[in-house]
Every structure is written in C-alpha cells, then in structure tokens.
Amino acid sequence: MSIKLKTPAEIEKMRIAGKLAAEVLEMIEAYVKPGISTGELDKICYDYIINVQKAIPANIGYHGYQHTSCISINDVVCHGIPSFDKKLKDGDILNIDVTVIKDGFHGDTSRMYIAGKPTITGEKLCQVTQESLYEAIKIIKPGIRLKEIGKTIQKYVDKFGFSSVREYCGHGIGEVYHDEPQVLHYDADDGGVILKPGMTFTIEPMVNTGDWRTRTMKDGWTVKTKDHGLSAQYEHTILVTDNGVEVLTLRSNEDFPRIIEH
C-alpha cells in the first residue's frame, strides 16, 4: 500500500481547501429549516463554492454524480441525492457532505444538522457521532497503528448502544479525492499501517441507532440503514503532524482544538 506523505507546500494547499470546505458547512446552517428542499440547499452550496470561493465542487461529475453535496436524511446513512421534491420536516436529522477543490487539492467534510425541534433520539445520536469523531482525532500521532482510530470509535459508540457502519470508510486525500489508506470506523485489520507525519486522510464515522448493516437503493447512490433506524455522520480531513494532529476542516463554531500535540 502506497500512502503519499505531503510536503509543506502541499500541506498549505490542503489547509486552504479544508478551510473552504468548513466555511461551506458554516454558511449553509442558517438555511436548514423545515420546508426547504434538499435541492435548494445543494444549489446554495454550489453557488457559494463557485461564486464566492472561486473553487470547484469535487462531487459534480464524480462517477457520474450530478450534485455539489450529498444530503442524507434520517435513515439515510450516506450518499443521499439532493432533490427539489424532498422538503425537510420538523425533527429531521440530516448530514450535509461537501468536498471543495482549490488549487488542485481537496478538502472533504460533513456534519449533522437538525431541522426545527429535535427528537431526543436524533439529538443524542448526532451528539454521540460527533464525540466519537473527536475521540478518534485525540489519539492521532505518528507511530500508532491506523486501526486504533476505528477501535476508538467503535468502543465509544458501543457504550451508547449504537453501532458503527462497516461498509463505508474514511480515506486518504490530497490531489486525489479518494486515496490510500482506507480508514475503517470499527476494530478491524489495517494491513499494518503505521501513522506518519504528512499523512492526510478523512475520518467520517457513520453511526446507526440500531444495526450497522446498510442497503443501497435502486438509484445506485442512496444508502439506508437496513433496519430503518436513524443514522448520523461527522467527517473531518486531518493531517498527522510531527507530534500529533491538525484538523484541516475545523469549523469556527466547533469547541475543539485545531491542533493537538502529544
């Protein structure tokens, strides 16, 4: 497995792309309300990336995909297709996932939103999923096994009676959108990968209220929970530093450090 280590110049470009991706998720928050369609939300993201950021939405044209974002509501685990017919209802939980290309480098991030008044279960699931991502980021430093990330996530999620999806994973990222290594979100073999300074990859746990298994819809994109339970996901692009980790897609309203040193 060949994992590309980024140079200081490449890391600086990754920081810029990551910051832009984070800003898209900050910008869209004000629009997430009952009654708006996921198609409208997607168009707002597109206009912002193209016209304000002067950047490229990476998802458009990727394996034939035609939208800027993936918007996954309630029992949709990932890859939800935006639609002008799909309007948000009170209490819906939804993930908005965007990837921005700037100067040839990718910034990939997603977060959960709640339309209107949350349900107790929906709110708790979102909270635990975000916390599982944070728990994984906290342990990252050179010299540890890649599998410690998934092990940490699964251990945290299991405590709450939730489950971590196994069919989808995080990934290396840089000039290539989906690169090595694959970052699993449960305790599994990692092929012996040891973290090294200069690695950049996404961590993006998908957490279900019930069983971890999923099913793919006839459109070939939309992935739902097999048991119709709720699902949540949070994603950051991170950099392994000389003595810890840097979160390249940290949002300004997150109560979490951008840089952690060990």
CA nearest to 45, candidates 62, 20, 64:
20
Percent of the chain with pLDDT over 90: 99
Amino acid at 139: I
Q: Give the pLDDT of residue 167.
A: 94
Global pTM value? 0.97
Contact between 184 and 221 under an 8 Å Cβ cutoff? The reply is no
At 210-223, the pLDDT tens digits run: 999 999 999 999 99
At 182-192, the pLDDT tens digits run: 999 999 999 99
Site of tokens 């912002």:
48
Beta bridge partners, 223, equal: 78, 216
CA nearest to 14, candidates 147, 175, 251, 240:
175
How many CA atoms lie within 13 Å of 216's alpha carbon, on the beta-carbon side?
A: 6
At 125-166, the pLDDT tens digits run: 999 999 999 999 999 999 999 999 999 999 999 999 999 999
Q: What are phi and psi for residue 123, nearest 5 degrees?
A: -65, -45
Q: Give the pLDDT of residue 168.
A: 95
